[in-house]
Amino acid sequence: MVDEAEKIEGVARSFSPRALLRPLLDLVYPPCCAACGVRTAGHNALCGACWSRMRFIERPYCDILGLPFAHDPGEGMVSALAIAEPPIFDRLRAVALHEGPARNLVHGLKYRDRTDLAPMMAAWMARAGGEHLALCDAIIPVPLHWTRLLKRRFNQSAELGRHLARLSGRPFLTRALTRRKRTGRQVGLTAKGREENVRAAFRVPKGEEHQVFGKRLVLVDDVFTTGATVSSATRALKRAGAAEVTVLTFAMALAEPI
| Concatenated DSSP letters of 7-23 | HHHHHHHHTSHHHHHHH
User: What is the model's pLDDT at position 197?
Assistant: 63
Mean residue pLDDT of the chain comes to 87
Pairing type for strands 216-224 and 244-252 reads parallel
Q: How confident is the model at residue 186 (pLDDT cuts 50, 70, 90)?
A: low
Distance CA 41, CA 47 (A): 9
User: What is the model's pLDDT at position 257?
Assistant: 43
* Top-confidence residue, 189 or 73: 73
* Top-confidence residue, 240 or 194: 240
* Top-confidence residue, 16 or 203: 203
User: What is the model's pLDDT at position 105?
Assistant: 97
State the CB neighbour count (10 A cutoff) for residue 17.
Answer: 7
User: What is the model's pLDDT at position 182?
Assistant: 73
Given a cut of 70, whether residue 184 has pLDDT beyond it is: no
Q: How confident is the model at residue 193 (pLDDT cuts 50, 70, 90)?
A: low
User: What is the model's pLDDT at position 44?
Assistant: 81
The domain defined by 56-252 folds into: Rossmann fold (3.40.50)
Phi first, then psi, for residue 171 (nearest 5°) are -60, 145
Q: How many CA atoms lie within 13 A of 250 on its CB side?
A: 34
Q: Taking the model in full, what pTM does it have?
A: 0.85
Given a cut of 70, whether residue 101 has pLDDT beyond it is: yes
Distance CA 16, CA 251 (A): 37
Q: What is the pLDDT of residues 21-48, one digit of tens each?
A: 555 555 456 889 999 999 987 778 899 9
User: What is the model's pLDDT at position 199?
Assistant: 73
Question: What average pLDDT does this structure show over 223-235?
Answer: 95
Distance CA 248, CA 186 (A): 19
User: What is the model's pLDDT at position 1?
Assistant: 44
Question: How would you class 31 by CB atoms within 10 Å of its CB: exposed for 0-12, middle for 13-18, buried for 19 or more?
Answer: middle
Q: Which residues contact 64 (CB under 8 A, 6 or more apart)?
A: 78, 79, 82, 86, 87, 90, 91, 92
Phi first, then psi, for residue 46 (nearest 5°) are -110, 150
Distance CA 132, CA 152 (A): 30
